[in-house]
Structure 1
């Protein structure tokens, strides 16, 4: 069996019973269950949600996206072996820790397979909540060009690249295109200030103005929990993205929860502590892959310039990356997942067949 066969690249063609179109993102696909199946599972499995809550099966893939494009390798490798299982294992670990430490629940109700979550429908808060502990990446690029204000926060003059910030910063941006918010352009992923959120909290899907402080508290607490755990394995939590949403519990009460993924190499920067103390940044996250792409192609501006999106898409479509590149990425993801969780990541020979069997036999979701 070739390595390419072990990669789950296409995850939107599983025979899961659904009466809605499958929604596919860059990495995950979502299958909304029928109302009857949702209700049956809530009763059979005793999930702590309202009886009429819509449920979905979320299947991760091994696809790798960077600079808003999906990349592929030689020999028909349409993804990175072990990446999906590693990402899910890390998210599962942090979500569980958050719950144990009394922070907030997540959208995950059940984990039938390393690639699969059963999730409840949440109403997302339309904010990508970024927490930064160090100045690097896009923030450093802007800072080095003279920018000092980020999301309404003023930074001091004397910061060095990759140095620790004076305090943990929250630099939110819009999730999706939001129309009609004064001072906020109607484009995806635009930086916003706390004032923008306070004055338009309903447009961002907050139920009340008080929930802004709760979201900020959950952000800081979530960051601190992960940061402290990573410190124990000598890894530095540099920055990360959180997403939040609202769900109803079994008594019908709204609650704010963590959703999407948390603390993964896809959504965060994680640096090796020993190397950082020696003056070197070694990435245990997707940032290493991004840097590799910037160095690999002769014109890196294509990857950084949003006005050159069509050229960038062609670049990703027409260039197969060396297998060694994808295997290095695989090692990064698997190694950090095993360090964080203390568990071995086992590569499945045929993840799709395994998923179908489990969902058919244990959940009766495949005809």
Structure 2
């Protein structure tokens, strides 16, 4: 079978029973289950949630987004073989580690198939929780321009590109557009300070001000746990984005949990330890693909300048990338996933048919 056939690129048209519109992000699609199916599965599978909790099936795809565009390859490749399975396997591994360490639960209740999660509805905290241990990427670009304050925190002079920071830095940004908050620009993904959050805890969806401390604690402890485990395989956890939300427990109490995905090559930078010690940065994350895109096009400024979004979308739409570029990404993602989980990644030859069969026969969610 060609590479194209092994890719699950379209994931919003599966025949999963739902009475709500399918919600599709850049990579995942969410199918909200009917009330009857949610109740039935909670009972049949014994999920530790309230009997009337809302459940959803989350299906990851192999699509690849970078610079806010979706990219495709020659020969009908609409994504990267193995990418979805790698992301899910890595997230599953870290969520389990967090539970084992007693940090916090995640929104995932069940993993019927490598590309599928059954999740409970969470009320998201409207913060992209970003933690940085090294100065690189957008932060380095701003630092090189002379900026020394990031999210209200002062950074010392004299740092070099890709250097380890004096301490773990928490540099949150907004998740979605928040309106009418003093000092917070009305835009998605803008940097905010700890004080912005404290002054508007409710608007950011926090239950109370104490949970601001809790989210920071869970972010730091989660970062440290992943970092320590990556060190065992000589990989460096450079920076990452976590997301948090609230769910209702089986006994009716609300708790803060990790949601979305954690510690993946899509949401984090991961560097090879040995290469870094030799003075070279080798990315085991999406950053490598971003660099390849910048090198691939004659005018890389289109990819970096937000004012040129229309040109950028046209670039992504009208240019199929060489197959080798997407297969390089595949090798990176599958490679780091196998290092992290310590075994071979099970890849499907026909992911679509396989997951339909599982959700029909094992879960009764497909007629």
Q: Does TM-score exceed 0.5, indicating one fold?
A: yes
Q: State the distance in 2 between where 1:251 and 1:4 align.
A: 46
State the TM-score, normalizing by the size of structure 1. 1.00
Alignment map for 1:256-275 (pairs within 5 Å): 256-275=256-275
In structure 2, the residue matched to 1:13 is 13
* Cα deviations by residue, 1:81-129 (Å, 9 ceiling, x for unpaired): 0000000000000000000100000000000000000000000000000
SS of equivalent residue, structure 1 residue 76: coil
In structure 1, the residue matched to 2:96 is 96
Q: State the distance in 2 between where 1:316 and 1:214 align.
A: 40
Query: How much does 1:346 deviate?
Result: 2.3
Structure 1 residue 341 corresponds to structure 2 residue 341: yes
How large is the Cα RMSD of the aligned pairs? 0.5
Alignment map for 1:156-167 (pairs within 5 Å): 156-167=156-167
Query: How much does 1:343 deviate?
Result: 1.8
Query: How much does 1:295 deviate?
Result: 1.1
Q: State the distance in 2 between where 1:100 and 1:289 align.
A: 33
In structure 2, the residue matched to 1:181 is 181
SS of equivalent residue, structure 1 residue 8: coil
Runs of 4+ in structure 1 deviating by more than 2 angstroms, as ranges, are none
Query: How much does 1:137 deviate?
Result: 0.2
Alignment map for 1:63-74 (pairs within 5 Å): 63-74=63-74
In structure 1, the residue matched to 2:282 is 282
Q: State the distance in 2 between where 1:232 and 1:6 align.
A: 32
In structure 1, the residue matched to 2:39 is 39
Alignment map for 1:56-95 (pairs within 5 Å): 56-95=56-95
Q: State the distance in 2 between where 1:172 and 1:126 align.
A: 10
Q: State the distance in 2 between where 1:235 and 1:155 align.
A: 25
In structure 1, the residue matched to 2:302 is 302
Alignment map for 1:185-200 (pairs within 5 Å): 185-200=185-200
Query: How much does 1:301 deviate?
Result: 1.3
Structure 1 residue 139 corresponds to structure 2 residue 147: no
In structure 2, the residue matched to 1:49 is 49
State the TM-score, normalizing by the size of structure 2. 1.00
In structure 2, the residue matched to 1:312 is 312
How many residues are aligned here? 367
In structure 2, the residue matched to 1:216 is 216
Q: State the distance in 2 between where 1:345 and 1:321 align.
A: 25
Q: State the distance in 2 between where 1:294 and 1:199 align.
A: 39
Q: Which runs of 5+ in 2 are unaligned?
A: none
Q: State the distance in 2 between where 1:343 and 1:23 align.
A: 32
SS of equivalent residue, structure 2 residue 295: helix
Query: How much does 1:347 deviate?
Result: 2.0
Q: State the distance in 1 between where 2:198 and 2:76 align.
A: 49
Q: State the distance in 2 between where 1:228 and 1:81 align.
A: 29
SS of equivalent residue, structure 2 residue 345: coil
